[in-house]
Amino acid sequence: MKNLYPAMPAQAIMMVRMVFFLQRHLEDRLAQVLEAHALSHSAWSLMLMIHSDPAQSISPSAASEALRQSRPHMTRIADELVARGWVERGHGVQDRRAVELRLTAAGKRALGRILPVMWAGYEKLVAGFSPEDATRMCGMLRSWLLELEQADDPLASTPREAGHD
């Protein structure tokens, strides 16, 4: 391929593609762990967001934005967790018209049971890294993420092929 396109940034393409493949594998492995608890990754992430918020609540729209899920999808996830008795909807503290999601006592107990299982799953996923390599990898990924987040449009400055306007 490099022979056909000498200007092709092979290493950059390889890095991005590997991250995509890695993400899929990680999500698949974590989904297997969560399946035992009849949870999707989105539902698990929502529970963690609520639990980790200082107010122990979050608005569905904030959760939708943070988890990069559509609002209708986030509503379905919240409905699922409400039906299980793990999450409840309530009024916002600052704005009584706003809806907030909170973990119930049963949701907190479920989280307490599932967290150690998930922690073990995460440890298995990175078992091949030494602590030093893991620290370096986290630093590199954090830097890359910050760089992408700070760029207005990381692809806007890419040169366009002649004749393809």
pLDDT for residue 163: 45
Closest CA to 118 of 46, 37, 51, 21: 37
Q: What are phi and psi of 85, to 5 degrees?
A: 80, 20
**Alpha helix (H) ranges present in the chain?**
10-35, 41-52, 60-67, 71-83, 105-125, 131-150
Ordered domains of the chain (ranges, CATH) = 11-128 (1.10.10.10)
- The residue-averaged pLDDT of 76-85 equals 94
**165 band by pLDDT with thresholds 50, 70 and 90:** very low
| Cα-based distances in Å from 78 to 5, 113, 132 | 48, 20, 39
Q: Is the pLDDT of residue 24 over 70?
A: yes
The answer to whether 47 and 104 have CB atoms below 8 angstroms apart is no
Q: Is the pLDDT of residue 91 over 90?
A: no
Is 130 or 154 the better-scoring residue by pLDDT?
130
The lowest-confidence range among 18-22, 73-77, 110-114, 153-157 is 153-157
Q: Which residue type occupies 63?
A: A
